[in-house]
Amino acid sequence: MHLALFIIFGLMCLGGAVNLLLQRHPINSALSLIVVMSSLAVLYLLLGAEFLALAQIIVYSGAIMVLFVFVIMLLNAGEEERTHGSRAAYLAGIPGVMALFAVLTSTFFTLRTSFGSARLGGFLVTTQDLSRVLFRNLLLPFEVTSILILVAILGAVVLAGKER
């Protein structure tokens, strides 16, 4: 079962990456990137890293992609042509959503560990230990990354303002 799900979501990840490169509209490319990040989250979930899967969805598919779409829309201030959507998105979307729903349902029903801990290697890692490492030892890289993202957004605003 895990091998089949790994192959399905691995192919979804590769398909989303190829679609990201082939799209002409930047918004469609950003949506393809969301498919890639979400399928990577499912791959993390299959590997038993539930925290990383949830962080992948919240951070990358949520916050970072909102920033990407914001910057794309800011730079693309002109009127965009109306399209009916990608045919490949319609054909792959419904099976993709059904497969994601099946993975999440099977994961919730076969959950063997408690919600507050995960096994990595032979060690028991609690959420408290993980948060201590993330917010004490790795606080500086998180803050530097947030400042770099803010500078990139401000740079995009300045570049968009100079063209007008």
Give tens-digit pLDDT for 68-127: 777 777 766 555 566 666 677 777 777 878 887 887 777 677 765 545 554 545 666 677
Residue 39 has pLDDT above 80, yes or no: yes
Three-class DSSP category at 122:
coil
Q: What does 111-142 look like in DSSP terms, one character per residue?
A: --S-TTEEEETTEEEEHHHHHHIIIIITHHHH
Q: What is the DSSP letter of 114?
A: -
**What is the pLDDT confidence band of residue 142, given thresholds at 50, 70 and 90?**
confident
Q: How far is residue 32 from each of residues 37, 69, 107, 127, 131, measured CA to CA in Å?
A: 9, 12, 25, 31, 31
**What is the pLDDT confidence band of residue 14, given thresholds at 50, 70 and 90?**
very high
Q: Which fold has domain 1-112?
A: Four Helix Bundle (Hemerythrin (Met), subunit A) (1.20.120)
pTM of the model: 0.54
Residue 10 has pLDDT above 70, yes or no: yes
Residue 163 has pLDDT above 70, yes or no: no
Residue appearing with tokens 């979501």: 9
Phi and psi dihedrals of 119, rounded to 5?
-100, 125
Give the residue, 141 or 116, on which the prediction is more confident: 141
Give the pLDDT confidence score for residue 155 in this predicted structure: 82
Q: What is the mean pLDDT of the chain?
A: 77
**What is the pLDDT confidence band of residue 62, given thresholds at 50, 70 and 90?**
confident
Query: Cβ(19)–Cβ(81) under 8 Å?
Result: no
Cα torsion through 86, 92, 97, 100, rounded to 10: -130
Q: Where are the domains of the chain?
A: 1-112, 114-164
Give the pLDDT confidence score for residue 162 in this predicted structure: 66
